[in-house]
Each structure stands twice: as structure tokens, then as C-alpha cells.
Amino acid sequence: MSEIVTFTIDGRRISAEAGQTILAAAQACGIYIPRLCHKDGLTPVGGCRVCTVRVNGRPASACTQPVAAGIVVDNDTEELRSWRRQIVEMLFVEGNHFCMFCEKSGNCELQALAYRFGITAPRYPYLWPKRDVDASHPDIILDRNRCIMCGRCERTSRDLDGKSVFGFVERGIHKTLAVNADARLADTDLDLTDQAVNACPVGAILKKRTAYRTPVGQRQFDREPIGTSVETRAKLTIDGGEPR
Amino acid sequence: MSESSIGRVVEEVAREFGRERWRLMDIARGVQQRLGCVNSQAMDAIASWLNISRVEVEGFVTFYSFLSKEPKGRIVIRLCDDVIDQMAGYEEVRRGFEAALGISLGQTTPDGAFTLERTACIGMCDQGPAALVNDVVVTNLSSDKARNIVRSLRENPRPERLVQRFGSGNNAHPLVRSMVENNIRKAGPIVFSEQARGEAIRKAVAIRPAEVIRAIKTARLRGRGGAGFPAGMKWEFARAAEGSPKYVICNADEGEPGTFKDRVLLTEMPDRVFAGLTIAGYAIGASEGIVYLRAEYAYLRRYLEHILDRRRADGLLGQKICGKAGFNFDIRIQMGAGAYICGEETALINSCEGRRGEPRTRPPFPAQRGYLDCPTVVNNVETLACVTRIMEAGPATFCEHGTPQSSGTKLLSVSGDCSLPGVYEVPMGITLRDVLEMCGADEAAAVQVGGPSREMVGPAQYGRTIDYDDLATGGAVLVFGPDRSIPKIVSAFMDFFVHESCGECTPCRVGTRLIKEQIDRILAGRGEPKDIDELLQLGETIKQTSRCGLGQASPNPVLMTIKGFRHVYEELVSPDPHGYQRSFDLTESVREAERIAGRRSIHHREVRT
Amino acid sequence: MSKPRLATCSLAGCFGCHMSILDIDERILELAEVIQFHKSPITDIKTFTEHCRIGLVEGGCANEENVEVLRAFRRNCDILVSMGDCATMGGIPALRNFVEIEECLREAYVDGPSTHNPDGVIPRDIELPLLLDKVRPAHEVVRMDYFLPGCPPSADTIWAAVTALLSESPVDLPYPLVKYD
């Protein structure tokens, strides 16, 4: 049994296991901290910065920052909401996100965060980068226009599938998702059953012939904002009076 | 070249380095040198040699400016385009090279002889415009010199022949033979004091490692790279950390535009730097030290290797150093390949391990888990030189200089609009005014202290002091005269950050680009008053949310200059009376369509009121 | 006192957003009670003769004419609303932002599989507005006050926005009405 520490998030006292990240500890207590590049089960990298919180006043990514006894974490403040909105808007103008025909629409985490934040249009000018689509694989499509560089596919393939199908090339604004082959996804050992296929938060990696099966209105984020399940799970627990 | 012969070249290169993954940098550099690129087949061959995935090799190769997938010319001319070189005539020199070579920047001549590229600061701001011709540094360039360089390279394609007269000090050493000048304008009592080779190490090994650390703490030595972390404390953490072996790394990747003091230190005082690294190794219990040398300083490598050999011969490296039983320590040089971000210590560690130079998540800190997941200390070149002096002369002597919070001296790299650019060793706490007087910058209208990452100050603030409490700096002092456009300088700085962002985190990857474009719109007369506040907001978000120091510092050129020189921005912006976006340039937007249609747009007839 | 006027236009769009206006069904009668439609495809009024309270802009700017119309809307409307994805982010027309203009024109007028153009001429008539180098969302050309994303925005979204503006409240769409598809 590891050591239990207590600290506060937005004034609320919560307990966590030492070594847990702030994001995981908050989540266990029904507090949703928005995130994109982190997914439960993966090694966090703190890349997208959407989960930025203030820890004792200093900004830190909640997905990488471990809890410590007595820390004071700010999560849901106007300032942090503003930073997160801006980061999501940056991601929208950095890539080419055509939600109106994207197969992932309604189930896309980037879009869902924008909905949750009430973003109606990004404030920054669109960059319209030229990016390509790789449809070479018989079962999987890779559309780099939609890639947000979160690296979830890279880590999932490497750490969970044991394959290293994905990686990044170039740097800075030219950073690009690449595959473990000269050029084509078809020349990698990516398999439809790989977990990496389901790792993408947006519509950059999709299974072919599975699109648009769920009617509009019934998709994951049509009714409920992203994070609601985290928030209501805890609420149910509290209402039910079950000791956690 | 056929696939099998490329495979043979890779194997020839790789055999020298072995199959450890952390040799990827050396292998890739070697292959680049032999083939002029690390192409697809070479990447496959390297991946299979090191038993890593090909996409990792590709990610690595494409990360570094001095490595390339596409074939480069046999001679690569890398023209330094930092702001000081631009002020000194970069544009003319570029045009000179372009005319002589018949190509534009970024291109390779059809015969494969030459590639002309831009590169970030190569550490020659006191003698710019400067360029690298392969590893050879050429300085004080002009348009004519550019033409002459191309002519003589066409006659004899050996870049070292371009050096007709050697620079000062060890630049004339047979193993350096460079035209680079030291320009040491003021040698102070610490870093540039008389050397007594071996003395510092003898004194260090005579006491216990904990006592060495105590001496460094007593001297209150803080990191000279600019961040100012107490060196003794860093060592203590690493000494106390579990795990072995332990490593010490000398960060010789100074890349902040306008910084070149480490280049001079490595040229003139390498023994003092290596001694400091050795002492650091003794203090934390390491047996291996690495000097991470930036690719731009490759011309110093043979000389530095020679100094290391001499130290081995003298018993200052190797087994039982200075007769101390159990203290075995050696140093190797790890070359970089052109990435400013690798000056960040965790990115540097990744680079040493043969990975993309992306900063790591902290915690864990390098002192706990650094190079190859072992406890690691990374110190700046100048910090290590200070260590040696502290051991030689004692902490008290060191503390005689500087201020209580910032003891000792600081090396400054001064460049720009001043009559005596070069390196100055000054006591910590010196006023900026005194520095400007020393370097002959009578008309300085603005001074960037610490390079683009830090702060730009105007005349009203020249009374401020250079130390950790006020103007903390890695040493760059860029002087700008009254005729310089501050937004133009900022644009050049932002260009640098866009170019050098690793791309790992959103705010730095995207935000720096957005700032750069906004500044350029303002410079083009297409800014509105609201843009200034929007820049401040964007800059603040990047500063607060970026993952590492580079990202956090990247908006500083904008934030600091709007804070200190807001009027220069206000003069450039104006509101639009109709609510049109001034950022939208209709004339420019229809230019291509006009060309295709062979007629002018109707909007030219529109009368704007 | 006269009723506030409302203008609408479709720039580089498909008129789908206008269909969505009509989708407010019988509520359009309610609307007609409180506002007067001015320049709009619905009224077929071609030019601004009076100042309007609200302008609903469908579509982004793909050519010089779009720019001219949008600028006229900016001059003649107090509040401008980007209606739909094309106005807010360029939409489907912006897919040509990744292709050189000349290639677009050649595909349309010369090389297209269903095109018969033996002379290979790209038309240059003055009636054909020149294309911009890129399709731009409305707010990159003039200042826009509100955004109704969606392809198209639902009738409820448009209704919520217009009724809010008519009651002089800011448009603040609830979660179910912010949709990008």
C-alpha cells in the first residue's frame, strides 16, 4: 500500500496515492482536467499542454506532475480556461480540420474540447499547411491533415503493441507524423487489431469502412460534453453513499 | 550509389562506434559526411545496425539541421542569419554567394558541388557576417569575399584553404588553423586568470568529494548558462541519487544568438574546462564525462581531442587521477548536429543518447535520472571553468568578486552596434552602463541582455546590473543603435524560435509561428491597435504553458519590447475605419489570378475612403 | 418606430445555411413580425439602401466579389454574424487552398474529364470574379461579431442567435447548439 497524500484542487481537499499524477488523482475524485495527448494507460509526456494547471502558483502539466502532500492546485480558473481555449484554437489553425466531412466528427476529442470550451471560431489565422493522406493500407487510413502531434499512436504502438509503427520527423511547425517505412503505411506491420489504431483522439488514424455508422445526435459528444463521464461517475459514487 | 554500397558505407562508419543506440549521433554524422546525406537506404541500414526502428532514425536525422535525408552538395555553405549578422551585411553576402553559385538560398548546384543554406547563430557575432564552409569558419564576409570564396573553392574544393591568415591565440594552433579571432577585450581574475594545470584537481582529490561540493557551495557558484541554479546543490543531488554509473556533462552547445564566450573559453582555456568537469566527476562519483560540442564548433574538435590526450598522458584523466586510488575518470567529446534546443539540459541528454533533442518531462530531474537513466549533472562550460578556479584559489577568493547573491565574474559576449565587440570578463553586479562604456557603445538605443530569450532594455534602464537578481544572462549582450527597427529585430528573433522549436508542445510549436506572422504583418503596415494586446495575450499564454525553457522564453522578444518600447509598435499600427481586417491584403491576394487572367482586378477601381 | 432590418448573403457557400434559415419553419412568421428582411437572396434586394441591424453571412471569401460584398455588409450592418462553417473556417471551398490556383482553373475549364474546351482557354471575362490566392473565413477579411459554426448551423442555432441579438443580448450558444458538422 503506497503512501496517501492529501492536497487541494480548486479549494477541494482530495487524497491520492503518492506517485500518482495530478490528472489521475483528480480524475479518481470526479474532477475532469481536460487533456488531449494523454490517454489512460500510456506514459504521459505533457505535450499538448491542454491539461495545464497551476501547482502552488506555477504552471505544470497535470498529466505529468506527480501529486505531493499539501500542494495547492488550480484547475478551473478563468485564466486556465483561457489558456486551454487558446491551445485548442492553435491546434485548429495548425492543421486542416474539416469537421463537416470528417468521419470522426462527434467522437473527436479535439472537437469535443472546443465544444466544451464553447469555441465558435478560432481567433488565430488559419495556416493551411499542405499535408498528405496515406490510404495505402488495406484497412486503415492515415490523414495527416488532422494530426495534432499528440503522439498517442506512437506511444501506443511502441509501448502497448510492441511495434513502433509511428514516429515523428522534422521539428517545430514542420513536425510531421511518419510511419516505420520508406513512405507508406501499407509497408509497416500495422494491423487492424493493434491498439494504436484506436489511439488517435482525432480523425488522423481511422479504420476503413467503419465511418458514419452512428447517426448524428447519438455520437459520443453530441449530447454530453467530454469529461462528463468522469464528473458523473464520482457524483454517482457520492450520491450512492458508497465508500470509495 | 546502389543499396548494397550504401549499406557498406554505413557499416564502415558504424563499425567504429559499435551497436549501442547512443552512438546514433556519431554514426549519422559519419554517414552524412561520407554520403552527403542520410538517405532512405542509409536509414534502413543504420536502423538494422543499431536494432532500432527505422522511423526513429528518420525522426532523428530530420530533427537536426546538420543532417539531411536529401543529398547535399560536397561543400555546404551555411550562412549565419542571426540579427547581428543581418546588421553587419548578411543580405549582401547572401546575394554575393547566390550570384557566384547561380543558386538561391536552400538550393544545391546542379553539379552537386555546393549547397547554400541559412543557419542560426554560429557564435561569430563579433566578426560577422560569418559562415561555415563545411566545418571551416569564414568571418567578416562581404559580397566580394563571398565571390572570392566561391571562386577559390571551384579551383580547389578544400575549404581549409580559404584560411589565409590565422586568428589570435590558439586559433593559430596547428590543429585549429582558423581565421576566428578571440577578441578577448577584458580578461578578468577568474576564468581568464593564469592557469596552473593540474593544481585544481590535485587540491580536489586531496579532500573528500563532499568537501569539494562544500567548497563550491561556499563559493555560491551558480550556473553560468543563464538559469543560475546553484552548482553545488546540483552536484549534491546527483551525489546523493541512487544509481550508477553517474555522468557529468559539459554543455558546450551555446546557441543563444549573440553568445560566443564558450567558443573563446574552449579555444584558450580548455584545460580549465576539462579540469572542472573532472572535479565535477570526482564530486558526484562519476567515471565518465561528456563534452557535448555544438556542430558549429567542430573546427575545435581535433584540438580539444589533443588537449584531452595530453591530460591523459599527464595523469589528469584516466586511472588513479593525480594518484588518487579509486578515482578513474575520462572525458569524451560528443558532437551535436545543429539544434539550439539541445542547450536545454534534458534535450542535450536525449541528443547524447541518440534521440531527437526534445526536452524530457521533469520530474525526474537529470540529477536523479539523466543520461542512460543514470544520475547526471550538466554544467555550462563557463561554470566548469569557475569550478577549477574555485579549487585553485579557494572559495573566498572567488567571492571577492561579484555580489553576495551572484559571486564571481561573468563572461559577456558583446556584439552589435559598438566599437569593441568581443568577450569581457566582468564582475557580477556590473551596471549595463559600465559594460556599454567599455565596449564603446555610446549611442546604444536598446540592448538585448541574454539574447533573444531574455530582456531588451532601453537607456533609462542602463543603470541595471548584470547578475542573477536583475539582468540574469548567459552572457549575450546585443547592442542596437538608434537607427535599428525594434520590431524588425523582434521578427528576426521570432524567426529563430520558430526555426529552433522542437515541436513537442503546442504553444511553442504553433504559437511562435503565429507571433512571427503577426509581427511581420505589423511591420508590413497591416497591423491594428488591437493586435498589440493580442500579441501580449498570445505571448503570455506561450510563456505560461510551454513545456520547456525555450518555449517559455520564446515570446520574450515580443513581451519585453512591447513592455519597454510600446510606442514603436503603436507608430506602426492604425485602426480601419470600416471594420475591414487590415491584415487582409486584397491586392496581394488576387495577384496570381490577375496574372493568369491577364487583367487587373476590379477592386483597383474601388475608392477607399 | 420602424422594425430593425436584417440582411443575409451567401458568399463562397452552398446556400445550405440559407436553407437552415428557412428550416426555422413557422417561426419565420414570428421573425417577420419583428424584423424586416433587407438585402438578401430571400427578398432578392441586391444593394444596400438602408443601414441594417444584423447581417448574416454565409460562406467565406473565395474571390474578389465575395470580398466586395462582405465589405459592403460590414459597412452597412451593425452586427455581422458568420453563419456556418464556410464563413467561420472556409469550409469545403477551402479544400482548394492546397492546390495552386492555375491548377484549379485548368481542372475546371480545360482538363476536367467532362470538359470540352478544344482551345484550352481559361475564361477571363470581367464578369468572372478573380479568385483569391486562398479561400478565407469571413473574419480574416472583415471584423465579425459572432460565429455560428455548423454545416449548416441548425435552425435552432440560427433562431437562438437572431432572437438573442434582437433582444440586445449577446449570443451565447448552449452546448447542444455549438456543432461543427
Which domain range does residue C70 map to? 5-97+132-177
Which domain range does residue A151 map to? 88-221
Give me the residue from B53, B510, B546 closest to A173, CB to CB: B510
Residue A233 lies in a domain: no
pLDDT tens digits along B417-449:
999 999 999 999 999 999 999 999 999 999 999
Q: pLDDT at position C2, please?
A: 83
- For chain B, list the contacting chains (3+ Cβ pairs, <8 Å): A, C
Closest CA to B584 of C124, C70, A86: C70
Question: Which of the residue ranges A118-122, B566-570, C120-124 would you say has the lowest mean pLDDT?
Answer: C120-124
- Our measurement of the distance from residue B330's CA atom to the centroid of its chain's CA atoms, rounded to an integer in Å, reads 25
Residue B597 lies in a domain: no
Residues B112-128, mean pLDDT to the nearest whole number: 97
* Residue A119 touches partner C, C-beta closer than 8 Å: yes
Residue C172 lies in a domain: yes
Mutate to test the interface with A, among B505, B508, B516, B517 (most CBs of A within 10 A): B505
Residues B306 and B286 in one domain: yes
Spatial distance between the Cα atoms of A171 and C18, rounded to a whole number of angstroms:
43
Residue B580 lies in a domain: no
Given a contact cutoff of 8 angstroms between Cβ atoms, the answer to whether B66 and B293 are in contact is: no
Q: How confident is the model at residue A2 (pLDDT cuts 50, 70, 90)?
A: confident
- Our measurement of the distance from residue B565's CA atom to the centroid of its chain's CA atoms, rounded to an integer in Å, reads 27
Mutate to test the interface with A, among B369, B510, B512 (most CBs of A within 10 A): B510
Residue C114 lies in a domain: no
pLDDT tens digits along B186-244:
999 999 999 889 999 999 999 999 999 999 999 999 999 988 999 999 999 999 999 99
Residue B404 lies in a domain: no
* Residue C156 touches partner A, C-beta closer than 8 Å: no
Number of domains comprising chain A: 2
Spatial distance between the Cα atoms of A146 and B367, rounded to a whole number of angstroms:
38
- Is the predicted pLDDT of residue B515 greater than 70, yes or no? yes
Percent of chain B predicted with pLDDT > 70: 99
Residue A231 lies in a domain: no
Residues B378 and B234 in one domain: yes
- Is the predicted pLDDT of residue B605 greater than 80, yes or no? no
* Residue C74 touches partner B, C-beta closer than 8 Å: yes
Residues B276 and B335 in one domain: yes
Number of domains comprising chain C: 1
Asked whether the beta carbons of residue B581 and residue C134 sit closer than 8 angstroms, the reply is: no
Asked whether the beta carbons of residue B592 and residue C133 sit closer than 8 angstroms, the reply is: yes
Unique residue bearing C-alpha cell 568581443: B422
Q: pLDDT at position A223, please?
A: 86
Given a contact cutoff of 8 angstroms between Cβ atoms, the answer to whether B353 and B81 are in contact is: no
Residue A112 lies in a domain: yes
Sheet (strand C77-83) strand order: C36-37, C5-10, C52-58, C77-83, C146-148
Longest Cα separation, chain B: 89
Residues A193 and A132 in one domain: yes
Question: Which of the residue ranges A45-49, C103-107, C122-126 would you say has the lowest mean pLDDT?
Answer: C122-126
Asked whether the beta carbons of residue A121 and residue C90 sit closer than 8 angstroms, the reply is: no
Spatial distance between the Cα atoms of B597 and B340, rounded to a whole number of angstroms:
46
Spatial distance between the Cα atoms of B246 and B241, rounded to a whole number of angstroms:
9
Spatial distance between the Cα atoms of B569 and B567, rounded to a whole number of angstroms:
5
Residues A114 and A181 in one domain: yes
Q: How far is CA B7 from CA B21, B39, B504, C19, C74, in A?
A: 18, 11, 32, 63, 64
pLDDT tens digits along B148-167:
999 999 999 999 999 999 99
- Is the predicted pLDDT of residue A241 greater than 50, yes or no? no
> Residue C46: exposed, middle, or buried by beta-carbon count in 10 A (0-12, 13-18, 19+)?
exposed
- Is the predicted pLDDT of residue B607 greater than 50, yes or no? no
User: A-contacting residues of C 44-83, CB under 8 Å?
Assistant: 82
* Residue A223 touches partner C, C-beta closer than 8 Å: yes
Distance from the Cα of B74 to chain C's closest Cα (Å) equals 34
Exposure b/e, A232-243, CB count within 10 A at least 16 = b? eebeeeeeeeee
Residue B227 lies in a domain: yes
The enclosing domain of C91 has a CATH number of: 3.40.50.700
Give me the residue from A50, A52, A172 closest to B501, CB to CB: A172
Q: pLDDT at position B602, please?
A: 81
Which domain range does residue B539 map to? 486-570
Which of B33, B63, B93 finishes a domain?
B63
The enclosing domain of B276 has a CATH number of: 3.40.50.11540
Residues B343 and B263 in one domain: yes
* Residue A173 touches partner C, C-beta closer than 8 Å: no
* Residue C78 touches partner B, C-beta closer than 8 Å: no
> Residue B310: exposed, middle, or buried by beta-carbon count in 10 A (0-12, 13-18, 19+)?
middle
Which of A54, A76, A98 finishes a domain?
A76
Residue C88 lies in a domain: yes
Distance from the Cα of B394 to chain A's closest Cα (Å) equals 37
- Rounded to two decimals, the ipTM of the complex is 0.96
Residue A201 lies in a domain: yes
Q: pLDDT at position C1, please?
A: 60
Residue type, B343: G
Joined grid coordinates for residue B135: 566545418
- Is the predicted pLDDT of residue C8 greater than 80, yes or no? yes
Which of B369, B399, B429 finishes a domain?
B399
Average pLDDT, chain B: 96
Q: Residues of C with CB below 8 A from B602's CB?
A: 64, 68, 126, 129
The enclosing domain of A183 has a CATH number of: 3.30.70.20
Q: Residues of C with CB below 8 A from B593's CB?
A: 63, 101, 130-133
Torsion of CA B460, B462, B467, B470, to 10 degrees: 0
The enclosing domain of A41 has a CATH number of: 3.10.20.740
- B·C CB contacts under 8 A: 67
Residue B539 lies in a domain: yes
Residue A244 lies in a domain: no
Residue type, C125: D
Residues B497-510, mean pLDDT to the nearest whole number: 97
Q: pLDDT at position B606, please?
A: 56
Q: pLDDT at position A242, please?
A: 42
Question: Which of the residue ranges A101-105, A130-134, C59-63, C126-130 would you say has the lowest mean pLDDT?
Answer: C126-130
Given a contact cutoff of 8 angstroms between Cβ atoms, the answer to whether B317 and B309 are in contact is: no
Number of domains comprising chain B: 5
The DSSP secondary structure of B345-381, one letter per residue, reads HHHHHHHHTTS--PPPPSSSPTTTS-GGGS-EEEEEH
- Is the predicted pLDDT of residue B284 greater than 70, yes or no? yes
Mutate to test the interface with B, among A158, A171, A190 (most CBs of B within 10 A): A171
Asked whether the beta carbons of residue C85 and residue A100 sit closer than 8 angstroms, the reply is: yes
Residues A40 and A149 in one domain: no
Torsion of CA A67, A70, A75, A79, to 10 degrees: -120
Q: How many CA atoms lie within 13 A of C131 on its CB side?
A: 23
Spatial distance between the Cα atoms of B131 and B289, rounded to a whole number of angstroms:
30
Q: pLDDT at position B195, please?
A: 85
- Is the predicted pLDDT of residue B577 greater than 80, yes or no? yes
Q: pLDDT at position B171, please?
A: 98
Q: Residues of A with CB below 8 A from B503's CB?
A: 149, 168, 170-175
Q: Which sign does the torsion angle of CA B156, B157, B160, B164 carry?
A: positive
Residue B237 lies in a domain: yes
- Is the predicted pLDDT of residue A161 greater than 50, yes or no? yes
Mutate to test the interface with C, among B518, B534, B586 (most CBs of C within 10 A): B586
Residues A31-40, mean pLDDT to the nearest whole number: 97
Which of B361, B379, B399 finishes a domain?
B399
Residue B282 lies in a domain: yes
The DSSP secondary structure of A64-124, one letter per residue, reads TPBP-TT-EEE-S-HHHHHHHHHHHHHHHHHTT--GGG-TTTTS-HHHHHHHHHT-SS-SS
Spatial distance between the Cα atoms of B440 and B444, rounded to a whole number of angstroms:
9
Residue B578 lies in a domain: no
> Residue A215: exposed, middle, or buried by beta-carbon count in 10 A (0-12, 13-18, 19+)?
exposed
Residue C157 lies in a domain: yes
The enclosing domain of B476 has a CATH number of: 3.10.20.600
Phi-psi sector, B590: left (phi>0), alpha (psi -120 to 50), beta:
alpha
Residues A62 and A125 in one domain: no
- Is the predicted pLDDT of residue B109 greater than 80, yes or no? yes
Give me the residue from A92, A118, A130 closest to C178, CB to CB: A118
Distance from the Cα of C58 to chain B's closest Cα (Å) equals 17
* Residue B543 touches partner A, C-beta closer than 8 Å: no
Q: Name every residue whose Cβ is closer than 8 Å to that of residue A154 and which is 6 or more positions away in sequence.
A: A164, A166, A167, A168, A177
